[in-house]
């Protein structure tokens, strides 16, 4: 397994992690196979979505905030229930095909770490098979 850390910049943040994931694939030495990108946190997740128009990410944040308000009479005493729910909505892992040592993503796709309780230091784990 390979891992790297990222610094998120605000409570909600979508960080493009294509480059460090590509570096992890090189470090692993995987040329053809599948990688799993796993986020070992309960208030951050990972997703694949559009890298071209940043408004897509802004709209995703808006929809998530509207769907899961920060305060809504939740029970969890830490006060970050919305972040837990959003992290589960995004999911904690994605799989991507690797061919010739390169991530196989669609033209407009990138990998995004999804922060919902930042800013924080987050780990990303990468395992190839």
**Beta carbons of 50 and 113 less than 8 angstroms apart:** no
CB of 125 to Zn ion, least distance (A): 21
Classify 38 as helix, strand or coil.
strand
Q: Considering only residues 53, 55, 78, 99, which one is a binding residue for Zn ion as defined by CB under 5 A?
A: 78
Q: Which of 114, 14, 108, 107 is nearest to 52 (CA)?
A: 108
Interface map 35-74 toward Zn ion (x if CB under 5 A):
----------------------------------------
Smallest gap from residue 72 Cβ to Zn ion (A): 14
Write down the least CB distance from residue 116 to Zn ion, Å. 10
Among 80, 96, 110, 122, binds Zn ion (CB under 5 A): 80
Q: How far is the CB of 65 from Zn ion (least distance, A)?
A: 17
CA distances to 18, 31, 37, 124 from 111, rounded to whole Å, are 6, 19, 9, 11
Residues near 59 by beta carbon (within 8 Å), at least 6 away in sequence = none
User: Could you tell me which stretch among 24-32, 46-54, 80-88, 91-99 binds Zn ion (CB under 5 A)?
Assistant: 80-88
């Amino acid at each position: 397994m390979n891992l790297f850390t990222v610094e998120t910049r605000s409570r909600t943040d979508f960080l493009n992690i294509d480059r460090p994931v590509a570096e992890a694939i090189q470090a692993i030495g995987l040329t053809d196979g599948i990688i799993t990108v796993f986020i070992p946190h309960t208030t951050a997740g990972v997703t694949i979505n559009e890298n071209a128009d940043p408004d897509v990410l802004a709209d995703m944040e808006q929809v998530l905030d509207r769907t899961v308000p920060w305060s809504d009479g939740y029970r969890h005493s830490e006060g970050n229930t919305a972040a837990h729910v959003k992290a589960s909505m995004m999911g904690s892992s994605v799989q991507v095909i690797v061919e010739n040592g390169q991530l196989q993503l669609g033209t407009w796709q990138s990998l995004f770490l999804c922060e919902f309780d930042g800013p924080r230091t987050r780990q990303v784990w990468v395992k190839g098979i």
